Amino acid sequence: MMPAAAPTLIHRACLILLALATSFLCSCKTTKSVFASVSVKPSSFLSHGSELKEDRSRSAFLGNWWTSDKKHQTAAEAIRKLYISPVRIDAVRPMKNYLARVEFSDERRQKKLVELASYAQKRFIKAFKDSKTPRYEIVDAPAEDAMTLDLHLLEWEPAAFSGFLARETIDLITFPAVGDLLWKPERAATTIEGRLIEPKSQKSVFEFADKEEAKTIIVLPVQEAFPTGQARFAIREWARQFEVMMNNDSAKRPKDSSPIQIWAF
């Protein structure tokens, strides 16, 4: 007789193998663009939003634009200081997730967005300060000899606790990840936009946009048990990816994480 817990353990083991397999796939596209069918629609916050393209060889973000102006490129290359401005949330799009709209009033969501904006600025600053070989020295205010990174949280679908419970229930009586697939429209998601400004011209030399949806987590998916869990995980990834990309180190190519994670919080 098979122990009662055996089927669940077998299911989890299968997902672990799948999580490992995804890391070897998708040489030309990010794993989220292939497996999760994620797309991003930038706002007018970006001057070149309509020109964003995915470039796996240079960036883990879904949309990227680099200036072709040699003068601006040369000026930006010479700068070694960076000011990361407070993250904007003034044009966050309305929630589409039905369960999130039920659980979150506009007031509660706005309060959480303020927290996320502060968290995002701190994490991007931390990514550079913790780097062993940072390209930029972080400064506390705009300066004539410092680039400026402007960030904007464009979308945030909070993690609805009722949706989390429903997905976990479905997984227990069927197979892990079935709940994630059936409830995909109700899952947490966060979208960010960014622009890197050259101080003299006050023009962008790089713009990007990226969207992250909640990961399928095999062991204790506590990330979605908290309203901002998915957003905070995404922000930490974006900060790490941006810092690596700014280094221009071919040995440290920015990587996007798999949509299936063994553990993540």
Confidence of residue 113 (pLDDT cuts 50, 70, 90): very high
pLDDT tens by residue, 178-189:
555 555 555 789
Domain made up of 40-246: CATH architecture: 3-Layer(aba) Sandwich (3.40)
| 8 Å CB contact between 154 and 93 | yes
* Mean pLDDT calculated for residue range 38-61: 92
Tell me what percent of the residues of the chain surpass a pLDDT of 90. 53
3-state secondary structure of 95: coil
The pTM is what?
0.79
**236 vs 103, more confident:** 236
R_g of the chain computed on alpha carbons: 20
Give the chain's mean pLDDT.
80
Q: What is the pLDDT of residue 186?
A: 59
Which tokens sit at 23?
A: 């890391």
* Pairwise CA distance, residues 114 & 42, whole Å: 21
Of 163, 242, 233, 232, the C-alpha closest to 195 is 242
pLDDT tens by residue, 152-175:
999 999 986 555 655 565 565 665
Q: Is the dihedral of CA 86, 213, 224, 159 positive or negative?
A: positive
| Single-letter code of the amino acid located at 114 | V
pLDDT tens by residue, 190-242:
999 999 999 999 999 999 999 998 765 555 556 666 789 889 999 999 999 99
Is pLDDT above 50 for 94? yes
Is pLDDT above 70 for 107? yes
| 8 Å CB contact between 120 and 151 | yes
Query: What is the residue extent of each domain of the chain?
Result: 40-246
